[in-house]
């Protein structure tokens, strides 16, 4: 620590701090416009000028000047105040005084500083800027007339998002922030630039003219989209969520959000929300009372007994999942599951076999603490964009080496010195086994590996996975495989990341075990910056696993669907899931749900699955209930209601509790009581309570017992003349729920099929052409998206969309062989 004096106050600060950091750390305010804790110091605005005695009283920028031992600093001398007033006058010289109609009023740093420093006149005169305002973007409005050239928008887009959509253009008084060649803004639409803009130059269009910031009530919560567990502040007025509010001190991500987190909140107050219970009478769903709906459901579940089954979305809380299990046990059934049964297998089967625990032995925080990242599929950025930001910062700021094994290129492939190896779709497990083979043969394994159970069996099984043999199968070279293995093994710290979820059926228990083998072989477990991070798809996917809401003794999701078709499942209760769209093999799913005797759906919207139900229950969104979510790295976080319940909606906790009571059981009275039971029974949650979780949450401990497992590889025989279709997530969407968020749908409103330039040229397909994609399951029409990232012979399609559901032609295989025609 460094000792220094600021405004006659003796203080200490870390030796790598700037004057601004030291002052802030010790509660001393220095005004600034161009600083953000996530960004590198820039020194553009000159509002943070201070005097340092050792520098003969010279005025220097506090945000770029490092502290030294014994430094004496003054932050508010008459000369400093005078200088800051002049800076404000110069900033206001060309700035339009349109505060009454500017949406930033009340949250504008320039406005607040002008008021604080009493700048009520301007000694300078010049014409106001007259830049054309960009209204074309559906999410972000750009008015460069208000810009103060702090550069935060361009810097955050480069340093963290790593897109570089904005930059400084021109020189001198004509300098402005713009897109290259004065083009319209066309980017990832994460809204990072909007969040850090200190003035009204960049505005969130969905919030425009909805309310003043001082009229909002800020409610802290956790994002309900992917499993990253980003902290979120919702701006609420009149029981409506009107925007998300930026807080640079919130969460490990320092307020950084992706497109769906920042702009996808509209589903909470959507006019399409279900608000009353519905029951099917004479073939039509009609409104009913909660009492009637609960009575009908309870009677059917009691009659069905052990023939009752349940499917849940991993978006509901841990407490609700526990109560859902209790409901099933009340009627004597252990037939319950989530995520189609296969999307959690990497954790519930793969990691359980290899590590002795259904959780990742790594944290998101390890991304910036490692020396090497081995990323399986570039989709990691699309599935968990804020983790992608962490990767960006690790590579660009910490010089972390990035190696990618994928069936296509992606955003991560563009990072500095990133190495992307493109393999034939579906052959990744064989490649990973070949990496393990190289590590063993080249004696790169850790000294403890031979003593781990299963080592001899693994060594024997790897004999078939020589680099030469695997290279011929997967489209890589033997030299590439050897280098990838050597890089990983020789790195002092290395972290593996891979996504799992409904659109990744090939990312199963075998892939998880193969990756765990690499970490165990090289001793990269239980250390900072090491391990394997399984990036589950939904906000509470890890929680659903921790709560045990998956098949152990009863039917899994696949067998439940089969049971609906065969008649062995009489009553099916679906909470928040939309299998008709999100599960593979649409025709089979729809036929099975049509045959089941009695179908109950609790959801926010009248989904395709809800439309088939006998009873539909209006459920609450995450913003209307209390409970906990568990992120991919087992960070448990407490959420509280941000708004009152909409209409007659009830939380899933209340729904399950009412049914348990009707069936003669005694459910927990509150989510807090249920969490007490969780903390006393679920491994790793011991000692947790709502009070102890606070706003930051707590990590559930992960205890690892490594064993080597021989993973099975898939035999994927290609079909002559066909293209390999792989499915996945689009950057702007998460599951099917983001269809109801206006922001994501503004940017990516429909499904598409992505193909290489070579394939497009060969088939004479142009961008946005409507093409027919045909598999053995059927055909679907999609718009074509031509891309440089796709290898020849490989197609990609996201799975989120109802009207153009790719699951109409996919059966759940890692690769679907299709033909393409116009």
pLDDT tens digits, 120-160: 989 998 888 889 999 888 899 999 999 999 999 999 999 99
Q: What DSSP letter does each residue of 707-773 carry, written as one string?
A: ----PPPP--PPPTT-EEEEEE--TT--TTGGGG-HHHHHH--S-EEEEEHHHHHHHT--TT-EEEE
pLDDT tens digits, 540-587: 999 999 999 999 999 999 999 999 999 999 999 999 999 999 999 999
In a domain, 585, yes or no: yes
Between CA 361 and CA 373 the distance in angstroms is: 15
In a domain, 109, yes or no: no
pLDDT at position 137, please? 87
Residues 473 and 551 in one domain: no
* CB-based contacts of 57, cutoff 8 Å, min separation 6: 51
Residue pair 202/151 in contact by the 8 Å Cβ criterion: no
pLDDT at position 296, please? 98
Q: Does the pLDDT at position 821 exceed 70?
A: yes
pLDDT at position 174, please? 87
Q: Does the pLDDT at position 463 exceed 90?
A: yes
Residues 435 and 580 in one domain: no
Between CA 60 and CA 43 the distance in angstroms is: 10
Residue pair 151/168 in contact by the 8 Å Cβ criterion: yes
> In the predicted model, what is the mean pLDDT of the chain?
96
Residues 666 and 679 in one domain: yes
Residue pair 648/289 in contact by the 8 Å Cβ criterion: no
CA atoms within 13 A on the CB side of 444: 22
In a domain, 245, yes or no: no
Residues 759 and 809 in one domain: yes
Domain boundary among 60, 76, 92: 76
In a domain, 247, yes or no: no
pLDDT tens digits, 774-818: 999 999 999 999 999 999 999 999 999 999 999 999 999 999 999
Residues 422 and 488 in one domain: yes
Q: Does the pLDDT at position 182 exceed 90?
A: no
Residues 374 and 334 in one domain: no
* Number of domains, the chain: 4
Residues 357 and 503 in one domain: yes
Confidence of residue 711 (pLDDT cuts 50, 70, 90): confident
In a domain, 405, yes or no: yes
Q: What is the mean pLDDT of residues 457-481?
A: 95
pLDDT tens digits, 248-281: 999 999 999 999 999 999 999 999 999 999 999 9
Between CA 196 and CA 604 the distance in angstroms is: 32
Residues 582 and 660 in one domain: yes
Between CA 355 and CA 516 the distance in angstroms is: 7
Q: What angle do CA 262, 263, 268 make, to 5 degrees?
A: 105
In a domain, 140, yes or no: no
pLDDT at position 788, please? 95
Q: What is the mean pLDDT of residues 755-763?
A: 97
The CATH number that applies at residue 789 is 2.40.40.20
> Which tokens belong to 559?
């067998």
Between CA 501 and CA 513 the distance in angstroms is: 16
Q: What is the mean pLDDT of residues 164-182?
A: 91
Residues 444 and 386 in one domain: yes
Residues 573 and 690 in one domain: yes
Confidence of residue 714 (pLDDT cuts 50, 70, 90): low
pLDDT tens digits, 23-49: 999 999 999 999 999 999 999 999 999
pTM exceeding the 0.85 threshold for the entire prediction: yes
The CATH number that applies at residue 644 is 3.40.50.740
Residues 358 and 319 in one domain: no
Residues 401 and 499 in one domain: yes
pLDDT at position 691, please? 96
pLDDT at position 720, please? 83
In a domain, 760, yes or no: yes
Total residue count of the chain as it appears in this document: 822
pLDDT tens digits, 391-421: 999 999 999 999 999 999 999 999 999 999 9
pLDDT at position 719, please? 83
Range of the domain at 57: 2-76
The CATH number that applies at residue 351 is 3.40.228.10
Task: For residue 762, give Cα distances in angstroms to 723, 724, 770.
Answer: 13, 16, 16
Closest C-alpha among 802, 813, 801 to residue 775: 813
């Amino acid at each position: 620590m460094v000792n220094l004096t600021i405004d006659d106050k003796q203080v200490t600060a870390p030796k790598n701090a700037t004057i601004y950091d030291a002052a802030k750390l010790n509660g001393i305010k220095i005004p600034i416009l161009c600083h953000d804790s996530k960004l590198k110091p820039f020194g553009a605005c000159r509002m943070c000028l201070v005097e340092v005695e050792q520098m003969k009283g010279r005025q220097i920028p506090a945000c770029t000047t490092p502290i030294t031992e014994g430094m004496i600093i003054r932050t508010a001398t008459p000369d400093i105040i005078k200088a800051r007033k002049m800076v404000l006058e110069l900033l206001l010289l060309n700035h339009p005084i349109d505060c009454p109609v500017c949406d930033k009023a009340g949250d504008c740093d320039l406005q607040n500083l002008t008021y604080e420093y009493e700048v009520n006149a301007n000694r300078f005169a010049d014409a106001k800027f007259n830049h054309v305002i960009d209204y074309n973007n559906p999410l972000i409005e750009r008015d460069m007339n208000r810009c103060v050239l702090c550069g935060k928008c361009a810097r955050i887009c480069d340093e963290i998002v790593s897109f570089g959509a904005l930059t400084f253009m021109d020189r001198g008084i004509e300098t402005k922030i713009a897109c290259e060649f004065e083009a319209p803004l066309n980017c990832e639409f994460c809204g990072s630039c909007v969040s850090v803009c200190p003035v009204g130059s960049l505005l969130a269009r969905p919030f425009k003219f909805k309310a003043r910031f001082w009229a909002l009530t800020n409610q802290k919560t956790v994002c309900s989209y992917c499993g990253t567990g980003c902290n979120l502040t919702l701006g609420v007025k009149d029981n409506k969520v009107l925007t998300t509010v930026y807080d640079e001190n919130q969460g490990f991500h320092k307020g950084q959000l992706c497109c769906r987190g920042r702009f996808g909140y509209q589903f909470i107050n959507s006019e399409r929300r279900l608000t009353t219970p519905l029951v099917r009478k004479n073939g039509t769903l009609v409104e009913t009372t909660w009492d009637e709906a609960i009575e009908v459901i309870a009677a059917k579940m009691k009659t069905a007994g052990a023939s009752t089954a349940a499917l849940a979305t991993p978006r509901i809380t841990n407490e609700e999942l526990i109560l859902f299990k209790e409901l099933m046990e009340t009627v004597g059934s252990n037939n319950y599951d989530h995520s189609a049964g296969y999307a959690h297998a990497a954790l519930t089967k793969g990691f359980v076999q290899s590590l002795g625990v259904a959780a990742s032995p790594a944290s998101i925080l390890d991304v910036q603490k490692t020396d090497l990242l081995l990323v399986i599929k570039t989709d990691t950025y699309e599935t968990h964009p804020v983790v992608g930001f962490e990767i960006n910062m690790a590579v660009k700021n910490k010089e972390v080496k990035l190696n990618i094994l994928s069936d296509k290129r992606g955003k991560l492939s563009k990072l500095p010195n990133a190495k992307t190896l493109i393999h034939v779709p579906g052959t990744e497990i064989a490649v990973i086994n070949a990496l393990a083979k190289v590590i063993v043969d080249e004696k790169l394994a850790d000294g403890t590996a031979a003593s781990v159970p299963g080592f001899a069996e693994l060594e024997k099984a790897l004999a078939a996975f020589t680099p030469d043999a695997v290279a011929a199968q997967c489209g890589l070279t033997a030299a590439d495989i050897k280098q990838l293995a050597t890089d990983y093994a020789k790195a002092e710290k290395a972290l593996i990341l891979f996504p799992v979820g409904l659109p990744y059926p090939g990312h199963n228990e075998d892939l998880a075990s193969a990756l765990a083998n690499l970490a165990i072989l090289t001793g990269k477990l239980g250390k900072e910056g090491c391990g394997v991070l399984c990036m589950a798809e939904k906000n509470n996917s890890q929680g659903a696993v921790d709560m045990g809401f998956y098949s152990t003794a009863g039917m899994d999701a696949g067998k439940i669907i089969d049971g609906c078709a065969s008649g062995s499942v009489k009553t099916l209760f679906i909470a928040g899931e939309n299998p008709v769209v999100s599960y593979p093999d649409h025709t089979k799913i729809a036929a099975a749900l049509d045959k089941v005797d009695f179908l109950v759906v609790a959801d926010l919207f009248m989904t395709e699955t809800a439309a088939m139900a006998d009873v539909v229950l209006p459920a609450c969104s995450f913003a209307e209930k209390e409970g906990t979510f568990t992120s991919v790295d087992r960070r448990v976080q407490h959420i509280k209601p941000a708004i009152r319940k909409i209409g007659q909606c009830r939380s899933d906790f209340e729904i399950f509790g009412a049914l348990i009571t009707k069936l003669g059981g005694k459910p927990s009275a509150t989510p807090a009581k249920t969490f007490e039971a969780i903390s006393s029974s679920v491994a790793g949650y011991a000692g947790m309570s709502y009070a102890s979780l606070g706003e930051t949450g707590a990590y559930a401990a992960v205890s690892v017992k490594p064993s080597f497992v021989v993973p099975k590889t898939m035999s994927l025989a290609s079909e002559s003349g066909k293209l390999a279709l792989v499915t996945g997530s689009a950057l702007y969407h998460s599951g099917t729920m983001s269809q109801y968020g206006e922001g994501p749908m503004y940017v990516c409103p429909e499904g598409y099929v992505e193909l290489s330039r070579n394939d497009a040229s060969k088939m004479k397909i142009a961008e946005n052409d409507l093409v027919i994609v045909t598999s053995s399951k059927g055909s679907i029409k999609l718009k074509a998206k031509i891309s440089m990232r796709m290898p020849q012979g490989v197609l990609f399609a996201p799975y989120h969309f109802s009207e153009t559901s790719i699951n109409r032609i996919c059966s759940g295989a890692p690769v679907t062989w299709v033909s393409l025609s116009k």
